[in-house]
Structure 1
Amino acid sequence: MSKAIQVAKAPQFPLPFSHAIRSGDFVYVSGQVGVDPSTREVVGETIEEQTKQCLRNIEIVLEAEGLTLDHVVKVNAFVRPDSFPGYNAAYRESFKEPFPARTSVPCDLGAYLVEIDVVAYSKSTRGN
């Protein structure tokens, strides 16, 4: 059975989606962007700033289920095509090795330079 997860501290958008879905031992976090959770304003003008904020927003959702970025086993990212070096640098600061499996797709997201969704496994962390 699956359970919808809505997190009051995470960015709220008037769109039809759950912040995450728990299905068994897996938590599927919906795409997050680099906005301040309370204002929904874009944080920073660089890919590094937006990636870090995006991952903080993912952490907020994971924390509601007692998880951290260390539980993430899969990352899907949509990144402005000219932003991959900065995205990779911020990503490397946020995730410990062994890194999660990852797919990164170049695309134009307007004011957002990155959108990331993740899958987390609640029974163990990467490397355990």
Structure 2
Amino acid sequence: MIPKKFSIEKIPSYGPYNTCVLVGNFLFVSGQIAVDFNTKKLVSDNIEMETKKVMDNIKIILSENGIGFQNVIKTSLFVTNMNFFSKINNVYAKFFHKGSYPARETIQVSGLPQNANIEISLIAYKN
């Protein structure tokens, strides 16, 4: 099966990769950081605003593929400071229905693109 690649103009990739790729019914979304696509700058006033911007960017990608957060089956969160964990969770949880959260892992890393504090990638299933 040849993956279908998407060129999403609203959320561009910044390197030699696609923002997302659809393989069968599975949508693989590349890691997203909190870039404001109007200003091209990172939103990093605080971890809550940064997390919300990442999730808003992901919402655009999902929507352009005709799906929503209810279709997300797995997320990977990369954070530069595990002390942000509870603040990230408070924002992240608002994008999902309580009790129907996807599988998830949270990994602390030493650095992220553009000195971001959080990056999120995911896998979703398109019905």
- 1:99 aligns to 2:69 (yes or no): no
- Mapping of residues 106-121 of structure 1, within 5 Å: 106-109=108-111, 111-121=115-125
Percent of pairs with identical residues: 31
Give aligned pairs, total: 122
Query: What stretches of structure 1 of length at least 5 have no aligned partner?
Result: 124-128
- Residues 54-91 of structure 1 show CA distances to partners (whole Å, capped at 9, x for unaligned) of 01111111112111111101000101222111111111
| 3-state secondary structure, aligned to 2:35 | coil
Query: What stretches of structure 2 of length at least 5 have no aligned partner?
Result: none
Tell me the TM-score normalised to structure 1 length: 0.88
What is the CA distance between 1:12 and its match in structure 2?
4.2
Distance in 2 between residues matched to 1:76 and 1:94, nearest whole Å: 15
Aligned-pair Cα RMSD in Å: 1.4
- 1:6 aligns to 2:4 (yes or no): no
Answer with 107-116 or 57-66: which moved more: 107-116
- Mapping of residues 70-109 of structure 1, within 5 Å: 70-81=70-81, 82-97=83-98, 98-109=100-111
| 3-state secondary structure, aligned to 2:42 | coil
Tell me the TM-score normalised to structure 2 length: 0.89
What is the CA distance between 1:96 and its match in structure 2?
1.6
Task: Give structure 1 regions of 4+ aligned residues with deviation exceeding 4 angstroms.
Answer: none
1:27 match: 27
1:39 match: 39
Distance in 2 between residues matched to 1:9 and 1:96, nearest whole Å: 26
What is the CA distance between 1:108 and its match in structure 2?
3.0
